[in-house]
Amino acid sequence: MDLREQHGMELAATRIIVRKKGLWLVPSQSGGKEKYQVNLSPEAPSCTCLDHETRGVKCKHIFAATFVMKREQNADGSTTITESVTVTETRQRTTYPQNWTAYNDAQTHEQDRFQSLLADLCSGLPVAPPKNGRPPLPLSDAVFSIVFKVYSTVSQRRFVSDLREAHKRGYISKVPHFNSISNYLENPVLTPLLHELITESSLPLKSVETDFAVDSSGFATSRFTRWFDIKYGAPKVKQDWVKCHIMCGVKTNVITAVEIHGQFASDTKLLPALVNTTAQNFQIAEVSADKGYASRNNADAIASVGATPFISFMSSHTGKGGGTWEKMYHYFQFRRTEFLQHYHKRSNVESTFSMMKRKFGDSLRSKTDVAMTNETLCKILCHNLVVLIHETQELGVEPIFWSKKIA
């Protein structure tokens, strides 16, 4: 492909080229208002641009009009002509089948199965070495207590009744004091363990999920930032929030990776970490994300794990730069309908956040940074366990944790 043909392809992808009275009107690539008239005569195609008239060569405008014409042609060689036609359409409402037996069973036994799955998951945590003095609460009991507390959505004092019942069933060795739950949430040692438990809770669905979506959302906190605005001469107040970045499967909505950083952390810079964490345990076929993640680095990061990126483009993007980024851009321009069918799987990550916030709340009760991070991770872990409970009924998946350690 020579330089003129390449520029013609870019024109066809980025400019509006129309046919009027047998001639194709091609805008200037420099961005001006001037339009060149192209005649795609089979014998001798012509253009009114200086390049064609003075040199007699096939210019980029001829190539651009040719690409657009081929794009609008049918398989038999005929050309599609767009006309205004009034059509009366009878729309039928799309319905989706629901396995009500499995759904009802999962709903009516969810809390019992949640405790059982959580206890199995916490049993794989390390055991702290014995110390002199009063024995501390086992790590598995501490994690079980804070996660089950977030699942219950009630206050710490009222939650003690649920802990006593869990102790009777043998899920924890002893019932902790209600104030201890806040102390466990503020322990930074639990943060990497909760990350590990989230990953482990997603593994029973690794044979189901191959397509993934990425996005971020915020959880409101009880802290407020106050400052004095000199411009308006009045104090201002703004609520703080925790920003959570996740990657989830588009079939079951299970969360496979999570990153929690500052309130204003850039979305696009965190995608490679989410992709790499997921790729360690899942076979990724494609990743969809909105235009906030559109960058060459992200396209390359997804391609490096053998997956196909489907990321929406901004109006300022041109696709220049080569590699996966350019291929993705031309796929978006010339096969947009097919591209959007894959891209719209991204809406499932919105559903994941909606599921989580509706069930476990869209705000945090904790007040310190570590506790707010751990509480957010507990919400995600609760969501994954609930997903597992439903998929056990729908798909017959048997949740087995820590299989790698057992093997």
Cα angle at 380 between 399 and 283, to 5 degrees?
55
What pLDDT, on the 0 to 100 scale, is given for residue 135? 66
Q: What are phi and psi of 186, to 5 degrees?
A: -90, 5
Neighbours of 103 (CB within 10 A): 13
Mean pLDDT of 131-152: 84
How far is the C-alpha of 205 from the C-alpha of 203, rounded, in Å? 5
Rg, C-alpha atoms of the chain: 28
pLDDT at 379: 96
Mean pLDDT score across all residues of the chain: 86
Band the pLDDT of 200: cuts 50, 70, 90.
very high
Task: Give the residue with greater pLDDT, 186 vs 79.
Answer: 186
Chain mean position to CA 370: 24
Is the predicted pLDDT of residue 280 greater than 60, yes or no? Answer: yes
Flag whether pLDDT at 211 surpasses 50: yes
Regarding predicted confidence, which is higher, 232 or 84?
Answer: 232
405: pLDDT strictly greater than 70:
no
Under the banding of pLDDT at 50, 70 and 90, the label for residue 380 is very high
Angle at 14 between CA 9 and CA 17, to 5 degrees: 80
Contact yes or no for 39/22 (Cβ under 8 A): yes
Q: Residue 98 is encoded by which pair of tokens?
A: 């629901």
Does residue 22 carry a pLDDT above 90?
no
Cβ(25)–Cβ(17) below 8 Å: yes
Rounded to whole angstroms, how far apart are CA atoms 85 and 75?
23
Q: Mean pLDDT, to the nearest integer, of 52-73?
A: 84
Instruction: State pTM to two decimals.
Output: 0.74
| Mean per-residue pLDDT, 79-97 | 56
pLDDT one-digit tens code per residue, 333-376? 888 889 999 999 999 999 999 999 999 999 999 889 999 999 99
Q: How sure is the predictor about 245, in pLDDT bands with cuts at 50, 70 and 90?
A: very high
Per-residue pLDDT band for 276 (boundaries 50, 70, 90) equals very high
More confident residue, 131 or 172: 172
Cα-based distances in Å from 300 to 194, 249, 325, 326: 29, 20, 7, 11
Strand partners, 237: 226
pLDDT at 85: 44
35: left (phi over 0), alpha (psi -120 to 50) or beta: beta
Confidence (pLDDT) at 284: 95
CA distance 383 to 46: 63
- Average pLDDT (52-65) is 85
- The string of DSSP letters for 281-326 reads TS---EEEE-GGG--HHHHHHHHHTT-EEEE---TT---TT-HHHH
Where do we find the tokens 């047998």? 22
Q: Which helix (H) or strand (E) holds 229?
A: strand 211-229
Instruction: Extract the tokens encoding 234.
Output: 């009045």
**75 has a pLDDT exceeding 60:** no
Between 201 and 73, the higher pLDDT residue: 201
Length of the chain: 407
Angle between helices 3-14 and 323-334 (to 10 degrees): 50
The residues with which 217 forms a beta bridge, in sequence order, are 244
pLDDT-derived band at 89 (thresholds 50, 70, 90) equals: low
Mean local confidence (pLDDT), 75-97:
55
Q: Which residue has the higher pLDDT, 129 or 283?
A: 283
Residue 76 pLDDT exceeds 80: no
CB 143 within 8 A of CB 154: no
Residue given tokens 């397509």 in the structure block: 211
Strands across the sheet with 23-27, in order? 18-20, 23-27, 35-39, 46-47
Query: Is 212's pLDDT higher than 90?
Result: yes
Task: Look at residue 82 and tell me whether its pLDDT is greater than 50.
Answer: no
